[in-house]
Amino acid sequence: MMKSKIYFAKSNKANPDHIILVREILARFDVEVVEYKGGTYSHKPLLECDMLVVLPDLTEDEDLNESEVAIGKGLHDQISAFQSVSKNKCDLFVINYIHEGTKEVGYGDVEDIDCTDEDDYVNYSVIIFDELAHGQLGQTLENRLGFNTSTSTSRINKSRYKYLIVGK
pLDDT at 1 (0 to 100): 62
Instruction: Give the global pTM.
Output: 0.81
Per-residue pLDDT of the chain (168 residues; tens, 9 = 90+): 678 999 999 999 999 999 999 999 999 999 999 999 888 999 999 999 999 999 999 876 555 557 888 899 999 999 999 998 887 777 999 999 888 888 889 998 888 898 888 888 888 899 988 877 788 999 999 988 876 654 434 333 333 444 455 555
Beta 125-136 vs 68-71: how paired, if at all? antiparallel
- Pairwise CA distance, residues 83 & 78, whole Å: 9
Identify which of 12, 16, 23, 57 has the alpha carbon closest to the alpha carbon of residue 137.
23
CA angle 28–17–44, rounded 5-degree value: 65
Identify which of 37, 25, 58 has the alpha carbon closest to the alpha carbon of residue 138.
25
- Pairwise CA distance, residues 86 & 120, whole Å: 27
What DSSP state is assigned to residue 160? S
